[in-house]
Amino acid sequence: MAIEWSGWGPQLLLELDRASGMPLKSQVEQHLRAAIRDGRLAAGERLPSSRALATHLGLSRGLIQECYAQLQAEGYLTAHTGSATRVAPTAAGATPEISGERAAKPAAPLIADFPSGVPDLRLAPRQDWAWAVAQVCRTAPNSAFDYGPANGNPRLREVLAAYLRRVRAVDAYPKQVLICTGVAQGLGLILRVLARRGHARVAFENPGAVRTARDAAGSAGIEAVPVEVDEHGIDVAELARSGARVVVVTPAHQWPTGVVMAPERRRALLSWARANDGVVIEDDYDAEFRYDRDPVGALQGLAPDRVVSLGTVSKSLAPALRLGWAVVPLSLVDDVMAEKMVADRGTSGIDQLALATLIESGRYDRQLRRMRAVYARRRAVLMNAAPGPITGLAAGFHAVLHLPAFAGEREIVAAARARGVGVYGMSDYRADSSAEPGRLVIGFGNTGEEAIVTGMAVLRGLLKE
């Protein structure tokens, strides 16, 4: 795709050797031909005006005009009276293939798709976010546009600490809050710090976010070990046998089974952490969307010295914003902040202030209320349309469909896609990729009510074949 430039047009890097003895006109022509042939200048791309390029290179405008005329005669350039000089459509070189691979054919569109972990992207609060950014740009002091603290803007850390205390019962104060680009970065930072403190193994829920856990552990140089989840949450007895002293859990709404960790299991997990000098990393990813009763408070509030709480706006606002946080025990604060400084010197300062403005204005809560109502309606539609037992609907915007024993999970996934319906198996979230027992993880965050009914009808037909 050609770049459209405004004003004087694009700058163009042409290195001339005035001591070579080669005429400057020939050098300019040679460089332009090479730039077009190797694709640096794309078909249709606008060149600088002859006046601008002459000024840039310290040459006469007439010489540049002669170069353009010569290349136009050779078919490299096109020009019309009153319009810019551009690269001819057939002159530019082809874009090179990466590693010899051909571009993948676009997949056929689906009539219904059920990806999990994706909120409704059509209802992302674009106007509210634009308002918040505009407010920041109008009112923020000049210092807000400088490099900020690596651990996050003080105003956002204060606002988030108050919000998390109010809404999630987190024992959080601004000093403990680290702003990051999402849960994946926060997890990686924490694990690297713990690895330097002698932790060699981290446990994760099985089924769970297997790839995320293994990637984060691998980057920290420690081993990731799976621990089974049952109807009460993570198996603490198995965790104790694993040899890990760090564990990543999703207690409010287990990913992806949807199980809510039982009170006795919460107490057992925290007792394990205290007895083993352990660390619990809590991914509090979608607990704000709860339907059957009040949200379950964060685990961190029960043991702030043993629990790291991770959160993000990826589910509440939009993944593209890349804003998250970690509430860190005081014993880890300094090391984690230093690790963040090494990683990237800090998350976007303007976006941080925009989020703080959104929360303070009440628009963040308003967006949550709006989306909670939308997801509740889709949840009800899914419950009525599902062709089999469905669980995990206490919170969030995904559920688990239990397949009958005769239906192979992978076969159903493939057959549904062949009929234009995207569904995803629990095997993607199991450490051993097992497809037994057969389960489908059904996301409805980015799937409308009509599509839910259509997709479930296709599944119902498949299960009757």
* pLDDT tens digits, one per residue of 72-90: 999 999 987 777 888 998 7
Compare 42 and 222 and report the one with higher pLDDT.
Answer: 222
Quote the CA–CA distance of 70 and 272 in Å, as a whole number: 79
Of all residues in the chain, what percent carry a pLDDT higher than 90? 77
- What's the rounded Cα separation, in Å, for the pair 193 and 14? 47
Query: 50-74, pLDDT tens digit by residue?
Result: 888 888 888 999 999 999 999 999 9
Mean pLDDT, residues 319-347? 95
Residue 295 has pLDDT above 80, yes or no: no
pLDDT at res. 3:
42
8 has a pLDDT exceeding 50: no
Q: Are residues 346 and 370 in the same domain?
A: no
Do both 157 and 176 map to the same domain?
Answer: yes
pLDDT reported for residue 448: 96
Query: 296 and 432 in one domain?
Result: no
Average pLDDT, the chain: 91
pLDDT at 444 over 60: yes
Provide the CATH number for the domain around residue 327.
3.40.640.10
- pLDDT at site 103: 52
The H-assigned helical ranges of 101-201 are 126-139, 154-168, 183-196
| Residue after which a domain boundary falls, among 363, 385, 416 | 363
Pick the closest to residue 116 from 315, 276, 302, 270 (CA basis).
315
**Co-location of 264 and 297 in the same domain:** yes
CA–CA dist 70, 76 (Å, integer): 9
96 pLDDT higher than 60: no
Please tell me whether residues 138 and 78 are part of one structural domain.
Answer: no
Element (H, E) at 86: strand 86-87
CATH classification at residue 83:
1.10.10.10
pLDDT of residue 97: 55
Pairing, β 390-391 against β 424-425: unpaired
Domain of 23 in residue numbering reads as 1-104
Mean pLDDT of 442-446: 96
Residue 58, CB half-sphere, CA atoms under 13 Å: how many? 4
Mean pLDDT, residues 368-396: 95
**CA distance linking residue 30 with residue 24, whole number of Å:** 10
Do residue 274 and residue 172 come from a single domain? yes
Convert 346-386 into a string of H (helix), E (strand) and C (coil): CCCHHHHHHHHHHHHHCHHHHHHHHHHHHHHHHHHHHHHHC
CA distance 424 to 182: 24
User: What is the pLDDT confidence band of residue 6, given thresholds at 50, 70 and 90?
Assistant: very low
User: Residues 106-114: what's their mean pLDDT?
Assistant: 82
Q: pTM of the predicted model, to two decimals?
A: 0.84
- Structure tokens that stand for 116 in this block: 């999990």
pLDDT band, very low/low/confident/very high, at 48 (cuts 50, 70, 90)? confident
**Average pLDDT of the residues in 278-290:** 89
Alpha helices in 253-392 (DSSP H): 263-275, 333-344, 349-361, 363-385
**Stretch 131-139: mean pLDDT, rounded?**
97
> Of 59, 76, 104, which residue is a domain's last?
104
Task: Please state the rounded mean pLDDT for residues 387-410.
Answer: 94
Question: Domain check: are 259 and 399 in the same one?
Answer: no
Residue where a domain terminates, one of 311, 334, 363: 363
Residue 2 has pLDDT above 80, yes or no: no
Are 228 and 153 in the same domain? yes
| Average pLDDT score over residue span 271-298 | 88
pLDDT in the model for residue 47: 87
Please indicate, yes or no, whether residues 264 and 313 belong to a single structural domain of this protein. Answer: yes
- Give me the pLDDT at residue 4, please: 45
pLDDT band at 106 (very low <50, low <70, confident <90, very high): low
CATH number of the CATH domain containing 455: 3.90.1150.10
Report the pLDDT value the prediction gives residue 17, as an integer from 0 to 100: 87
- Which pLDDT belongs to residue 149? 94
Given this model, what pLDDT does residue 83 score? Answer: 77
Q: Which residues contact 135 (CB under 8 A, 6 or more apart)?
A: 354, 357
Count how many domains the chain has: 3
- Same domain as 351, residue 393: no
pLDDT digits (tens, 9 = 90+) for 149-204: 999 999 999 999 999 999 999 999 999 999 999 999 999 999 999 999 999 999 99
With vertex at residue 193, the alpha carbon angle to CA 192 and CA 197, rounded to the nearest 5 degrees, is 115
Residues 453, 356: one domain? no
Type and span of the H or E element at 327: strand 324-327
Q: Are residues 218 and 84 in the same domain?
A: no
